[in-house]
Structure 1
Amino acid sequence: MHADLTGSFNIGVYKSLFEYNHDACYAVDLDGNFILFNEEAVAITGYSPQEAFGMNFVSIIHEDYLEDTIEHFRRVTGGVRERFETVIVKKNSGERADILLTVVPITAKGKIIGAVGCAQDVTKQKELEALLSGQNQILEMIAKGASFREVLNNIILWIERFMNGARSSIMIADQDGNRLVHGSSPSLPDKYNAAVNGIPIGPSVGSCGTAAYLRRSVTVTDIGTDPLWADYRDLALSCGLKACWSSPLFDDDQRVIGTFGLYYDHSSSPREKDMQTIQKATDLTSLAIQHYRAKEKINFMAYHDALTGLPNRRLFDQRVQEALGETMVRAGEKLCLMFLDLDRFKIVNDSFGHMMGDKLLKYVSQKLKKCIGQEVLISRQGGDEFAILLEHTSREEAEVIAQQILKSMSEVFLVDGTEIYMTTSVGMSFFPDDGEELGILLSKADVAMYQAKKQGRNNYQTYDIMLDKKSLEKLQIENELRKALWRNEFELHYQPIFNLCKNKIIGAEALLRWKNEKCGNVPPQKFIPIAEETGLIVPIGEWVLKTALLQLKRWHSSGLKPLTISVNLSIRQFYQPNLIQMIREALDETGVNPQCLTIEVTESMTMDVESASFILHELKKLGVNISIDDFGTGYSSLNYLKRLPIDYLKIDRSFIQDIAENKSDENIATTIILMAHNLGLSVIAEGVETEEQLALLKQHRCNEAQGYLFSKPVPAEQFPKHR
């Protein structure tokens, strides 16, 4: 009795474990026919126990997994425990289900009579893994720089694996946000993609356009009757599309950047279980669109001017090089480069401010495009300079366009309610007449433009071959000099000044240097006269003074006190009305003691003694020192020198050069030294290059000297630290 009770109890336990297990449990005979089937197995497969009994397991296995599953069954009936994954097809929906099986053999009296197994539905887990795997693959594609279309196509193919036959599409909003352009839909017919490409965004323009307009998902349950699809109805039906669901795509600022659509061949919309997949797809699509738009923007910025949106110098040069590389086969055809510079643009900036100037430049770029057409390459080269490329043209046609530009630009500009009158000067060069290389053609167009300015502005000039090399060089230097200050092309070098009694550095002379991209290192004797002639020396001289004083302040802070600095004034600076005020402000701004500053003027600048005397006395009131530079080359009399408040005389290098070999030069130098001492002045010799020269200067009690014997002019960071 006890044994019977125990047996009944065991049977009850096994039956309860089988029937009430949270996993699907089943048993099959040696032929694979179901003999047991619990409620969870019913839930997974859709077959009732009555339907399952007598069915063979192969009838519910997906055909792609049948062979492997049968092999696992054979191993189990051979006495091996198996754990494996397979895929079944559900009865009611025909959907796939991923199943994880644990199967063991059933034995009776030492013989295997079947198999019993537990099954777990891992469909959601497998889908999540597949989603994450696909998502990671797409993210990897983006990171590795795959093409935009390739990434979008893969998003579509990835999501369609989970959408139960639905076909997908991605539409992208244009830059203005008014239309949707085709992004990707590899499963839809090309004729349909072509038809909806460029669909406007609006309340009744089709599912995708409406979704973008309403900023929410839109379902079209029956394309054949819905009025929103009137324009596409026949085409959609002919392509087998009966229903559509579209949802907008947003960027991080919640602006619509596109739509994601699902198309069905039956009246339908996404199932609730699909929404997680759709959300991942839309997130990936939004990320891809933003990534590639950012990449496009970076590329655009690299080749376009940030203010006007016009091609920049880099893109212009590239396009011109490509144009020059093409063979001109038509008789008489030429390539023309135009260089434009706005006349008196600086006045607008100074009068109305840089914001107004920037707006004016935008208007100018728009007017140029309107005047000569969008297809012509127009570039902003920087500042108020523009360049234009005319291909397949002639001199006559280019001159007509230049006249059109002059006429258009002379019309009043209305900027923020302010009327601004602006003209431009245009220079032109032609390939192959004026050269066959980009640099030469641009340079000659630039020269021609400055010829136009010299002709009174508001006109155009073609490059004239009659300009000799010297004139061309001068014009080019003048052209580049006008831009040098705001391009930060200037640099100061400093030459030490030695006290010959103390044998130590007591000061430095600041000397201007200019390095230009086109002209290279330009010697001061070439550009200083041009700066003087054009008036550019005034702002340049102010920059020199402030830069030198700031450097002196840094030297003082590092312990090089009481080092002095000498700065040259040109004749144009010397007679500028605000000279005294400018120097006073520079001293106040930098905090330099005026006694540490020496202002150098040339002997010829003192010929107008009355004016020079007044200016020099005003300078002395500031507390600065005054030195007469290049002394001995002018025509000042001793009487005039006596009346001027001078601290130093600087002997010109021409008298020092042969002082050791030429007795006359030695006599002149010694006379200047003696005269200066009698007038109470100190003497500085410049251009000292040999020990013999130095010995003679010391013999005749010259106070100070500078020259290559001590040091050539050097950048501030190379200035000798020992004194």
Structure 2
Amino acid sequence: MCGLLRRRVRQDGPMSADPREPIAEIGFFGPIIEQAIDGVVVIDGCNNVVLFNAAAERLWGMDRSDILGRNVRLLVPEHARKDHDRQIDHNRLGGNDRLVGSTVEVPIDRPNGTRAWGALSLSRTRIGETIYYAAFVKDVTEEVRRREELYLLSLVANETDQAVQITGRDKRIVYANRAFVDLFGYSRDELIGQLPAQLLNGRHTNLQSLTSLDNLSRGLRTDMMEFIAYHKDGREIWVSATVNPVLDAAGEVCNAVCVMSNITETRQIQALQQRVLEAVAREEELETVASLVCREVEAIAPGTICSILMVDREKRLRPLASPSLPAHYSEALDGMPVGPSVGSCGTAAWRGEPVVVEDIETDPLWAPYKELPLPIGLKACWSSPIKLKDGRVAGTFAFYYREKCGPTAWHERLVEACIHLCALAIERHEAKAHIARLAYFDTLTGLPNRSQLGQAIDQRIAEAQREPSSEIALLFLDLDGFKDVNDTLGHSAGDALLVEIGRRLTAQVRPGDIVSRLGGDEFVIVLGNCDSDQAAQVAERVLKALAVPVDVDGMGLSASGSIGISLYPSDSRDREELLKHADTAMYEAKNAGRGAFRFYSPGMNEQVHERLVMVGALKESLDAGHLQLHYQPQILGETGRLLGVEALARWHHPQFGQVPPSRFIALAEECGLIEAIGEWALCEACRQMAEWRAQGIAVRTVSVNLSPLHFRNSRLPAIVAAALEASGLPPEALTLEITEGVMMDRCEATLATVEAVAGLGVRLSLDDFGTGYSSLSSISTLPIAEIKLDQSFVRDLQSDKNARAVASAVIRIGQSLGLTVVAEGVETEPQRRFLQGLRCHAMQGYLFSPALAPKDLVSWLQRQDPGQAATEVAAVA
């Protein structure tokens, strides 16, 4: 068509001078050009458009009325206009037009902002002096878009890190991207036409997985699998593959696209984690687990040398595992303190963050220590802290390198996994050790407990059996009066005392001996290869060590203990019997006056049996109401008249007869019956007082002894109030005697109980004043109405000037504070006269009367002054 156009133009003469008029003879071809599929644009010698058909209008999105007669630059994208102008100028100057006779793709920017593409073919003709260009432009926008899409897809396929292979209908490879080539080491020429199952197969390959790659073309599903494939050089590569079938127009599988990821590193880490976790689950020793981590890492990360260090409680490095480092290197690190400039590991532990040193020789962190790694070829070190869940740095994990370098991304992944595994192993180790401590060691003192003690005794017995002449001594220690410390000063003071006792006991034995705490205030010492004389020497040292005062909260406490000793094999060859015999001997030492030791003898078992029987009998008597109260008169010093009575418990048993109070009260304290006895005495004394008053036998007041345990019981005020209400006794007729230990109790609850009891109107009397820890500040600040001068001072008034001085001081203190002073244990007339001379308010003792049964007290009153009872009744009324 273009040729015909050019020929007709030449035959019929020049074109019209009006650019908007069609070229001469164009009318003949006009309908053809107008209906052409491709756009046609003709420009004249002035670069003005003289023809612009309908297809061109559609392609450019512009009306021809806006184009004809205007410069063709209007159709050229703005960014390409400079190049277009240079090409036009070049052509006008006679240069070769490279576009004529060829087809090029050109962009077309439409007024609506969209871009189209056209395949442009250019023809040139001369008419006279004028050169005309006819451009035939085919719309190739969709083709360009598809080509660009294919290009982008090829970029995705070829530039991705994922290996891509495509197989055809025959299951053979028709395409492999660059990543596939790099992953397996084959060139594209070597890959094309191969069956994947044959190409990637090896000794450990799962053939079923590779067969799935080949057979997938028979199905329509997407498949995912993991398997071991092999590099061209024979290396194993773990692969994760996703295979998708591609269907043709008929719905038949024509291709299969397989995308593969190299998961070798992930699989190696998973294998490492599995092996380590299995070792932890088997409860392997921490050192074994740490060595396993190092060996596994060095196997999958060639060129690295691993080291794991622990950080102890004193912030010092302790080698745990470094199988590839010389022994002398680890030994040099042992005990090194962490710090801000202590190599890589010490600094990482100090900072709590990784430390990378790429050149040990020049890095200042290694300046003081570089003579250790450099001679053995270690040039770089990267250390990371091992942190536990609580944030504590428990150790470090380090990579050493024989080249000056830092960690790779693969090494970073490895270390991240390893520090978590190490933290898990350490936490499991510490938890196991903690459980062992709970199972075998006393949590308060850190000494072996009963379970550990049993194993230790069995071990010593086994050792002694191999040496027939060898002996073992068991020392059973029970602290004297420890319960009073807890009751008066509180359990925190008692705990502090126990910790110090444990330390002192440990200091008195040899390194191979065992000191154990059974519980409470009981300790057992096991002395291996020890005869009776040596055991006695140890017992004496222990008692002397206990006698040294212990500073607890600023107060000096003196402790004493009773020790029972049993010997292997003379006393028994059985562990339990040895402990039982030592316990029996301890009670014998306690009964002998405490602060002493006794060796076991067979006769002691009878005494222990008797004690157990007496405990049962005491409980039975208390439940059956067989205990009694006797009442000892308290006499006014000036008039000799009755002040009141003190209620004292008495126990007469059908089998044991009259049991002394010193014996059964101590027994009640040991077996936990003392509170029950105290409550019974309180209720019985109130009942008896009410009965006397109902009979017209008036006694002003009754005193009842209570133990420190009562005042640690917040229910005591309610118990006292109930006893008074049940008997109808006024509170001022009741006096409760408390020990000095209660006065020194710093527990707020105990002091509140004392105040609450006094608030009922009940009088409080401080018993045995001068023998304990009382201070004047306690007496002056607490609601005490009476103090009792202990009988130990009264007994020695005639023979001991110090006793006379103490008695005088106590009486004067009471007088100055407005307190009643009652002297106990008055047995002689000189004692009475001395106390009268000091104007002691009241006295009690055998000089006046022993403790009497209720009916005997009435008789005693009548004998002393027949009119006194009536007088007392009148006074009370």
TM-score, normalising length: structure 2: 0.50
Superposed displacement of residue 453, structure 1: 3.6
Residues 151 and 511 of structure 1, relative CA distance in 2, 3 Å threshold:
farther
C-alpha separation in 1, matches of 2:856 and 2:485? 32
CA distance in 1, matches of 2:206, 2:553: 79
Choose the corresponding residue for 2:666, options 508, 527, 536: 536
CA distance change for structure 1 residues 326 and 102 in 2, over 3 Å: closer, same or farther? same
Aligned-residue offset at 1:255: 1.4
Match of 1:578 in 2: 705
Task: Quote the sequence identity (%).
Answer: 29
Q: Which residue of 2 aligns with 1:427?
A: 564
CA distance in 1, matches of 2:657, 2:475: 26
Relative to structure 2, which stretch is displaced further, 71-80 or 18-27?
71-80
Of 334, 355, 362, the match for 2:471: 334
Contact persistence 2:265–2:410 (CA under 8 A): no
Q: Counterparts of 2:718 and 2:617 in 1: how far apart (Å)?
A: 18
Asked whether the equivalents of residues 341 and 426 of structure 1 are also in contact (C-alpha less than 8 Å), the reply is yes
Q: Report whether the alignment pairs 1:200 with 2:337.
A: yes
**Which residue is 1:557 aligned to?**
none
Specify the alignment match of 2:443 in structure 1.
306
Aligned to 1:283: 420
| Secondary structure in structure 2 of the residue aligned to 1:323 | helix
Output the CA distance in 2 between the equivalents of 1:580 and 1:264.
Answer: 74
Q: Give yes or no for contact 2:197–2:213 (8 Å, CA) kept in 1.
A: no
Task: Note if 1:222 corresponds to 2:463.
Answer: no
Q: Relative to structure 1, is the Cα distance of residues 322 and 330 closer, same or farther in structure 2, using a 3 angstrom cutoff?
A: closer
What secondary structure sits across from 2:578 in the alignment?
Answer: helix
Per-residue CA deviations over 1:335-386 (Å, capped at 9, x if unaligned) read 1111222233334334432211211111111122223244320011222221
Q: Is the 8 A contact 1:339 1:388 kept in 2?
A: yes
For the residue of structure 2 that corresponds to 1:326, the secondary structure is: helix
Q: Which has the higher contact order (CA 8 A, sep 6+)?
A: 1
User: Secondary structure of 2:346's partner?
Assistant: helix
Q: 1:236 to 1:548 in 2, by over 3 A?
A: farther
Matched, 1:260 2:397: yes
* CA distance in structure 1 between the aligned counterparts of 2:436 and 2:429, rounded to whole angstroms: 10
Structure 2 residue runs of 5 or longer lacking an equivalent are 1-139, 247-253, 628-652, 682-701, 728-848, 859-877
- Residue number among 296, 309, 333 corresponding to 1:171 in the alignment: 309
Mean Cα deviation higher: 312-321 or 533-542: 533-542
| One-letter code aligned to 1:470 | E
8 Å contact kept, 1:446–1:476: no
**Separation in 2 of the partners of 1:227 and 1:181?**
23
Pick from 424, 443, 446 the counterpart of residue 583 of structure 2. Answer: 446
Structure 1 residue 122 and structure 2 residue 261: aligned?
Answer: yes
Match of 2:481 among 344, 353, 357: 344
Is the contact between residue 207 and residue 220 of structure 1 (CA under 8 Å) also seen in structure 2? yes
Cα drift, residue 310 of structure 1: 0.7
1:557-596 deviation line (CA, Å, top 9, x unaligned)? xxxxxxxxxxxxxxxxxx983379989957458899948x
Contact 2:200–2:231 under 8 Å retained in 1: no
In structure 2, relative to structure 1, the CA distance for the partners of 1:154 and 1:315 (3 Å cut) is same
Q: What is aligned with 2:154?
A: 19
Change (3 A) 1:248 1:15: closer
Distance 1:347 1:95 in 2: 76
Tell me: CA distance 1:579–1:34, structure 2 relative to 1, closer, same or farther (3 Å).
closer
Count, aligned residues: 549
Q: 1:319 to 1:137 in 2, by over 3 A?
A: same
Q: Deviations over 1:123-172 (max 9, x none)?
A: 25x64465456546644654564544454445445555664542333222
Q: Given the alignment of the two structures, is residue 394 of structure 1 paired with residue 521 of structure 2, yes or no?
A: no
Change (3 A) 1:103 1:346: closer
Counterpart Cα distance in 2 of 1:584 and 1:79: 88
Q: Shift of the alpha carbon at 1:449? A: 3.0
Cα distance in 2, alignment partners of residues 46 and 217 from structure 1: 35
Aligned residues of 1:427 and 1:445 also touching (Cα < 8 A):
yes
Structure 2 equivalent of residue 505 of structure 1:
none
1:666-718 CA distance string (max 9 Å, x none): xxxxxxxxxxxxxxxxxxxxxxxxxxxxxxxxxxxxxxxxxxxxxxxxxxxxx
Measure, in 2, the Cα distance between the counterparts of 1:230 and 1:312: 49
Note if contact 1:88-1:99 (Cα within 8 Å) is conserved in structure 2: no
Does structure 2 retain, via aligned residues, the 8 Å contact 1:76–1:103?
A: no
Cα deviation for residue 224 of structure 1 reads 5.0
Cα distance, 1:389 vs structure 2: 0.6
Query: Compared with structure 1, are the counterparts of its residues 223 and 476 closer, same or farther at alpha carbon in structure 2 (3 Å cutoff)?
Result: farther
**1:248 touches 1:260 (CA, 8 Å); kept in 2?**
yes
Residue from 842, 849, 854 that aligns with 1:613? 854
Equivalent residue, structure 1, for 2:761: none
Alignment of 1:673-688 (within 5 A): none
Residue identity in the other structure for 2:552: V
Counterpart amino acid of residue 429 in structure 2: Y
In structure 2, do the counterparts of structure 1 residues 212 and 61 end up closer, same or farther at CA, with 3 Å as the change threshold? farther
Per-residue CA deviations over 1:437-480 (Å, capped at 9, x if unaligned) read 22332233233334434444434333346x465345446879xx
Of 538, 548, 553, the match for 1:411: 548
| Structure (1 or 2) with the larger CA radius of gyration | 2
Structure 1 527/61 Cα, relative in aligned 2: closer, same or farther at 3 Å? farther
Aligned to 1:376: 513
The residue type equivalent to 2:154 in the other structure is E
Q: 1:334: how far off?
A: 1.6
Q: Where in structure 1 are there 5+ consecutive unaligned residues? A: 106-114, 482-488, 496-507, 513-522, 550-574, 596-607, 618-723
Cα deviation for residue 428 of structure 1 reads: 1.9
Residue 512 of structure 2 corresponds to residue 385 of structure 1: no
CA RMSD after TM alignment: 6.0
CA separation of 1:305 and 1:458: change in aligned 2, threshold 3 A: same
